[in-house]
Amino acid sequence: MYTYYKHEIQVPMGNVKIGCELTIPLGAKGIIIFCQADGNSRYSPNCRMAARSLNRNGFGTLLPELLTPEESNGDGAQDTDLLTARLMSVTEWLMDRDWFHRYRLGYYACGSGAAFALEAAAYLPEAVDAVVCRSGRPVLKEELFQQIEAPVLLVVAAMDGQALQLNRDAMKKMKGERQLIVLEGTTSSFGEGRMEQVMGMVRSWFVSHMQMAEKLNFTGKETVKSGYGG
């Protein structure tokens, strides 16, 4: 069994407690916080699959439930300010733990989760070491794009036209290290067999920027990859 620590935690924020699942494998050097579009990473099959992939490759993961059931059924998933505030609370909770000093921190975002993940990264530049957005909708104020210091990887399907344009716009607005990978022959769901290809890119980005490996320079670069094969 690769996991030495797995725990359900409750992060207080005002009158709300944010439920999270924290998993840290033996020897992990980084923890990835998941930022799901609907605010509830713990119950997303795609997030859980991605978390297992990262755990198997030596990364800790934190899957938060950023919205209450009532908020999820209402307009909470569209409230970027609320989701950003909750994500920042979870991040700061981690940073306040006595044991956290041994880890680096990253965000992994999907869909509209890209917006509040990047916004939180802009507000917490000293905390976030790397960000990956898959099929993201990175819509936020232009000045916030320019405050992002963490290296950002954007992965989008060539056939997801709206997301592709939003990600290209985000690339132009960000000033720091970033890369856009466009996967040809795929839709936003990526389909069977594509997610492992995507997760390989995700893992490589986090390894490069969170585990003190030699950093690669991807500034302002867009790469087109085939959606078929590795």
Which pTM was predicted?
A: 0.88
Long-range contacts, 168-176 (Cβ 8 Å, 24+): 168/222, 170/118, 170/136, 170/138, 170/145, 171/220, 171/222, 173/142, 173/145, 173/146, 174/145, 174/146, 174/148, 175/145, 175/146, 175/148, 176/148, 176/149, 176/150, 176/151, 176/152, 176/219
Q: What is the DSSP letter of 41?
A: G
What's the number of CA atoms in the CB half-sphere (13 Å) around residue 115? 19
Strand partners, 109: 35, 133
pLDDT for the residue numbered 225: 63
Q: Give burial (CB, 10 Å; 0-12/13-18/19+) of 108.
A: buried
User: What CATH number does domain 3-226 carry, 3.40.50.1820, 2.102.10.10, 3.40.50.970, 3.60.21.10?
Assistant: 3.40.50.1820
- Residue ranges of the domains in the chain? 3-226
**What ranges in the chain are assigned the alpha helix state H?**
45-56, 69-73, 80-95, 113-123, 142-145, 161-173, 194-210
Give the residue ranges of the chain where pLDDT is below 70: 1-3, 76-77, 187-193, 211-230
Write down the pLDDT at residue 222.
Answer: 67
Question: Which residues touch 53 (CB under 8 Å, ≥6 apart)?
Answer: 196, 199, 202, 203
What is the DSSP track for 55-106? HHTT-EEEEEE-S-HHHHHTTGGG-HHHHHHHHHHHHHHHHTSGGGGG-EEE
Bridge pairing between strands 16-25 and 3-13? antiparallel
pLDDT tens, residue by residue, 49-103? 999 999 999 999 999 999 988 887 777 667 889 999 999 999 999 999 998 888 9
- Give the per-residue pLDDT at 64: 94
Instruction: Give the number of C-alpha atoms closer than 13 A to the C-alpha of residue 75, restricted to the C-beta side.
Output: 3
d(CA 87, CA 183): 28
- pLDDT score recorded for residue 40: 79
